[in-house]
């Protein structure tokens, strides 16, 4: 288990209104990063240090709302899917500096690679025969998955990765189990697949429910005094 963090993240009610960037600094130790996600925050490089973001308008995908076109289902049949078998290749694909808007630096790479080795970060790989066609990675806890980044080298490969993620976390038919897939910010691309925006306040309650629910990922329980982390 990760060593508990020495840092305190702002509670939802303490986060500045009108700002997505809610804290600066700290570190990327496993305990810090995991605590951040429990507080609704995620890191991105900012001016040589780390910024911690909690968007006022959060992009999420509800499994039942994923939009899968006939053409996408047809594309999916040509690909093969694996989970957690090529994490290094996936995160390097996401970090490719030639990609528009690439933000994953060496420190982010090292931090999430360590969390993957510890079982908290997961990758979905999409293969075209023996070639990696695309994939995604993110943090999983209970019934919560925070998507960090995705990439593709073949048409529709990243969309298929998202399909497979939804299949992984989808509760049984008729189940009322809460599931939350966090995509950080809604984009036109994600909106076309069924992503929606919810307020930071709504995200707070949905996050708490998904973290506490049994799901495909380990659950992380932070002690009430924030002094320890247990499985």
Radius of gyration of the chain (CA): 17
Burial of 64 (0-12, 13-18, 19+ CB in 10 A): exposed
What residue ranges define each of the domains in the chain, with the CATH number in brackets? 59-212 (3.40.630.70)
Instruction: Find, among 197, 132, 141, 179, the residue nearest to 160 by Cα.
Output: 132
Q: How far is C-alpha 194 from the geometric centre of its chain's CA atoms?
A: 16
Instruction: Find, among 6, 55, 48, 3, the residue nearest to 24 by Cα.
Output: 48
Handedness of CA 171, 173, 175, 180 (dihedral sign): positive
> pLDDT tens across 13-29, in order?
999 999 999 999 999 99
Burial of 183 (0-12, 13-18, 19+ CB in 10 A): buried
| The pLDDT value given to residue 173 | 77
Q: Hey, how many other C-beta atoms are within 10 angstroms of the C-beta on 3? A: 11
C-alpha distances in angstroms, 150 versus 12, 92, 173?
Answer: 27, 10, 28
- DSSP assignment of 14-75: GSPTT-SEEEE-----HHHHHHHHHTT-EEEEETTEEEEE--SEEEEE-GGG----HHHHHH
pLDDT of 227 over the 50 cut: no
pLDDT of 226 over the 60 cut: no
Burial of 172 (0-12, 13-18, 19+ CB in 10 A): exposed
> pLDDT tens across 113-143, in order?
999 999 999 999 999 999 999 999 999 999 9
| The pLDDT value given to residue 230 | 36
> pLDDT tens across 28-82, in order?
999 999 999 999 999 999 988 999 999 999 999 999 999 999 999 999 999 999 9
| The pLDDT value given to residue 221 | 55
| The pLDDT value given to residue 228 | 36
Strand order in the sheet with 131-141: 80-83, 121-128, 131-141, 144-152, 180-184, 57-61, 196-199
> Whole-angstrom Cα distance, residue 52 to residue 44?
7
């Amino acid at each position: 288990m990760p060593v508990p963090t020495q840092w305190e993240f702002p509670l939802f009610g303490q986060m500045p209104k009108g700002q997505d960037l809610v804290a600066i600094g700290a570190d990327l130790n496993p305990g810090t990063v995991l605590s951040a996600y429990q507080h609704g925050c995620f890191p991105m490089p900012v001016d040589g240090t780390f910024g911690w973001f909690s968007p006022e308008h959060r992009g999420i995908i509800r499994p039942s709302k994923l939009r899968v076109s006939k053409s996408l289902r047809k594309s999916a049949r040509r690909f093969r899917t694996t989970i957690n078998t090529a994490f290094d290749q996936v995160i390097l694909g996401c970090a490719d500096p030639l990609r528009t808007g690439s933000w994953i630096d060496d420190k982010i790479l090292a931090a999430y690679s360590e969390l993957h080795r510890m079982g908290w970060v997961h990758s979905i790989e999409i293969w075209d025969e023996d070639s990696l066609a695309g994939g995604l990675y993110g943090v999983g806890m209970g019934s919560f998955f925070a998507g960090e980044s995705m990439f593709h080298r073949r048409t529709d490969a990243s969309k298929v990765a998202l399909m497979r993620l939804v299949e992984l976390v989808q509760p049984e038919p008729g189940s009322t189990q809460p599931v939350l897939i966090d995509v950080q910010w809604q984009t036109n691309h994600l909106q076309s697949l069924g992503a929606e925006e919810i307020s930071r306040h709504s995200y707070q309650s949905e996050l708490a429910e998904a973290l506490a629910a049994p799901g495909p990922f380990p659950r992380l329980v932070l002690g009430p005094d924030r002094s320890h982390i247990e499985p």
